[in-house]
Amino acid sequence: MKHSLKITITLLLMFLLAQFIGLSVMTSYYNYFGRGAEERIKTSELVQPEVSVVRETVPPQIELKKPVDILRIVMVIVISILIATFLFFLLSRVKITVLLRAWFAFVVFVCLSLAFALLLYPYMSTSTFSVLGKKMALAEVIAVPLAAVFTFLKIFKRDILAHNFTELFIYPGLAVIFLPLLNVIAAAILLIAISIYDMIAVWKTKYMIKLAKFQINHLKIFTGFFLPYVAPKDRVRIEKMRALAKREAEKAKRTGKKPRKKEKKVKIKVQIAALGGGDVAFPLIFVGTILFQFGLAAATVTILSTALALLLLLTFGEKGKFYPAMPFLSAGCFLGLILTLLFL
């Protein structure tokens, strides 16, 4: 097993939670800004705000009627990812950390704003608030400053709880940006392309490994779930040292003598369990296309089959080795699609 059972279960639950949060975010977008909102707007059942962060950020729905349309949009997305990767690599080589952190902060802020707003819309969609004379949905008025607070905690305070909490919402927000551009076939081709890229970047060029280490060591940021932990044998050593220090302190208190200060350096190796952001976002994008074409049951089956693939990777993966997760997660996504076509 790649990590301890406790860490494996925690990582799996975080992945599942992000996927189901993503379902809620994408359903909300469909109902308030997508196809589901069109008829409600015509009948005045739904009145959209004059100013909307969601409407201005998420691209409009496009029709992919021909194979060439599918290939074109997938190529555009893949090329965009490659350009972003190249720019990040270039900036990391010259170590412009301020610009990279600003880049991270902007992306995190936008994704959190979208996710928080869309999660709040079902509860306060009819409530508006006037901002500079323009009506804005109360859901977005609350979501934007909330996103700013959590972005600050994540990027600048570097709290591990804040980091993993925000990761649960970042990828649902990111997925909803891509969702109007894709259908199931396009998302499937995108998964295959990203899986090939992931295998090359991890097994061949080692770029992904270098990128992760650069983020952790220099930017103090990691794009994905991040769980540092201490191995059981090292935890026992820590507890023994604490117990010894406590006994010496109690002895010094009883005798009134100060204990001699002996500084003893002990090396404790911190293990890291991580799951990259793309490993959460791309399966979620695929799940979103399944949701809108086949329904909630099919999307749920796909999430569970993808989680099963992740569990198998974490169970049979060797400790200390790096694996590209996308090929395994993509296989889980395709299994969900096959089960959908056969039984749902």
The pLDDT tens digits for 279-313 are 999 999 999 999 999 999 999 999 999 999 999 99
User: pTM above the 0.85 mark?
Assistant: yes
Note down the domain range covering 214: 5-250+266-343
Q: Which residue has the higher pLDDT, 79 or 242?
A: 79
pLDDT digits (tens, 9 = 90+) for 256-275: 766 655 555 666 777 788 89
Those residues with Cβ within 8 angstroms of residue 192's Cβ, 6 or more apart along the chain or in another chain: 330
Comparing 79-93, 105-119, 170-184, 298-312, which segment has the lowest mean pLDDT? 79-93
With respect to residue 258, please indicate whether it lies within any of the assigned structural domains.
no
At residue 116, does pLDDT exceed 60? Answer: yes
Residue 26 in any domain: the answer is: yes
Structure-model confidence comparison of residues 90 and 78, the more confident one: 78
Q: How many CA atoms lie within 13 A of 34 on its CB side?
A: 22
Q: Is residue 261 in some structural domain? A: no
9, part of any domain: yes
**Within a domain: 282:** yes
CA torsion sign, 194 to 178 to 149 to 17?
Answer: negative
Q: pLDDT-based confidence at 89, cuts 50/70/90?
A: confident
- The mean pLDDT value for 15-19 works out to 97
> Is 70 exceeded by the pLDDT of residue 235?
no
Residue 257 domain flag: no
Domain membership of residue 176 (yes or no) is: yes
**Count of domains forming the chain:** 1
For residue 256, is it within any domain?
no
Instruction: Write out the H or E segment, with its range, that includes residue 107.
Output: helix 97-124
